[in-house]
Structure 1
């Protein structure tokens, strides 16, 4: 795990510096070519640079162990970084889309040849950074690679647009490209923010059905019922699980341990980093009862914890 973390940190740092250098080239090139499409993508790349910088730092931060202040560790900071970056990108893209819409009424000549050179350079640099992050196991690496792949698509659009303008002098295509790129990136950012919001609101990990899991636990020898089953994700990669299982009144210590091990076995298909199993015996009241829970919880109780 330590080697995997250090590998991710190194990859993200390289991708960050590659993107940072190219943002400077892109801003200068956008001003030189007078291309609003280039400047739009420069803003997008700047947002990606911020995302890569946060991902790099948070990947490093996530290696810290839990403490009295953050008992689950620091992994949730990565979701905070994704949320911050997404909001910054939405505001910036809205501003650029507004500026591009003004140019629709007054198209201005651009240096299409310069745009072509920048498009080729952009595809090479972003493609190289995306290749570096390919196959990354961490959520930060995966999200960063998505951003870089989106950059590749944006530069492909600029490449096509520059060729069209070199052949036809149809300069209206420049602000149209800027708006299309902004809308495409906005759609992807909003989609990712929905996922980040799901993590922040402690939604169940993708593919996990708590009700179905309760049914599976009823198949464990000695388990009579299950309730208070809760699960959420720390960062989209590592998840938390807790449940109360009710067992026969005369269950032995060995039977209780075996039931706990069976629950852990059922959870192996997903990345549950923190698992809490409370065992209650029939006839004991459930000390964790909530007024919003089912009435049958009144009959259960606080037992053993794992």
Structure 2
């Protein structure tokens, strides 16, 4: 089963546990944690829908498939739902801090929230193990959600176990901030992909060095690379070669360049190469390398 499905099921289970635990208590931090889980369930549900759409094959209308649907649905869910839940949570937290009331929490509430904390801990460990295997938006979302859920549950449990109004009020504000920070971080990551950001500069340097290492290549005049997804790059090159190459030579050279790039950068799925005759001007690849090194990480 895909980790995102597991994360959705676990979030739904912990949401039910926390709702049952919230009955009979007035903990602001637990309410903030419940709102966080509500947002996670809706957001993960939208990402699952995006996964279903992105699994469709490429066509003339969508030449690179619909893999970016994951980022679209992820950005929508995080931006809209995350913002709404943060606003609701922070208003409730400030109100609780301004109007202190004794915290009521019985053994049932403490037990249910503790159980939810344990389940969230398992979910975080699962997300961490999956993160090392595949760097996809679905897995990144599961990791961020797992971390935020575990930390939120830990704060909610602490406030209920101690029945301290100060801890509860401050904890609810912290959980609200966690929701905002995690939503903003993941949203920016998805936004960068959707607007067509270049791959990491380490990958860019590997690409240009791979091209220059192929016999027959004299210079690289242009290198454009864009991330279709975090695991799928589109590479466009303008390469200088000798004037004595015929069509068959260029076809063979193109295959060699493509194979060399893919062997070093497996995420380079789509490569387009334009050949031009060798020029008398100084090599331009050094300028490209300097521009790549100035890229932000």
- Residue 178 of structure 1 is matched in structure 2 by 172
What is the SS of the residue equivalent to 1:32? coil
* Distance in 1 of aligned mates of 2:112 and 2:174: 18
- Residue 143 of structure 2 is matched in structure 1 by 145
* Distance in 1 of aligned mates of 2:114 and 2:201: 40
- Residue 40 of structure 1 is matched in structure 2 by 32
1:101 aligns with 2:94: yes
* Distance in 1 of aligned mates of 2:93 and 2:122: 29
* Distance in 2 of aligned mates of 1:237 and 1:46: 29
- Residue 211 of structure 2 is matched in structure 1 by 217
From 232, 239, 257, the equivalent of 2:252 is 257
Unpaired stretches in structure 2, ≥5 consecutive residues: 280-297
Q: In the TM superposition, what whole-angstrom CA distance separates every residue of 1:116-174 from its partner, at most 9, and x where no partner exists?
A: 22321212222343445432524312321331232112111222222322xxxx31321
Q: Compute the displacement of 1:208 (Å).
A: 4.0
Q: Which is bigger in relative contact order (C-alpha 8 A, separation at least 6)? A: 2
Q: Compute the displacement of 1:80 (Å).
A: 0.8
Indicate conservation of the 8 Å contact 1:55/1:81, yes or no.
yes
From 161, 164, 185, the equivalent of 1:163 is 161
Unpaired stretches in structure 1, ≥5 consecutive residues: 1-6, 284-306
**Residue 111 and residue 261 in structure 1: after superposition, are their counterparts in 2 closer, same or farther (change >3 A)?**
farther
Quick check: 204-213 or 140-149, which moved more? 204-213
Query: 1:261-276 maps to which residues of 2 (within 5 A)?
Result: 261-268=256-263, 269-276=265-272
What is the SS of the residue equivalent to 2:175? helix
TM-score (norm 1): 0.79
What is the SS of the residue equivalent to 2:113? helix
- Residue 240 of structure 2 is matched in structure 1 by 246
Indicate conservation of the 8 Å contact 1:97/1:179, yes or no.
yes
From 269, 277, 282, the equivalent of 1:281 is 277
* Distance in 1 of aligned mates of 2:24 and 2:274: 66
Q: In the TM superposition, what whole-angstrom CA distance separates every residue of 1:213-245 from its partner, at most 9, and x where no partner exists?
A: 445533432223223321111222222211121
Q: Cα RMSD between the aligned structures?
A: 2.7
Indicate conservation of the 8 Å contact 1:36/1:175, yes or no.
yes
Indicate conservation of the 8 Å contact 1:222/1:255, yes or no.
no
- Residue 73 of structure 2 is matched in structure 1 by 81
Q: How many residues align?
A: 274
1:67 aligns with 2:59: yes
1:58 aligns with 2:34: no
* Distance in 1 of aligned mates of 2:221 and 2:40: 43
1:237 aligns with 2:231: yes
**Residue 128 and residue 187 in structure 1: after superposition, are their counterparts in 2 closer, same or farther (change >3 A)?**
same
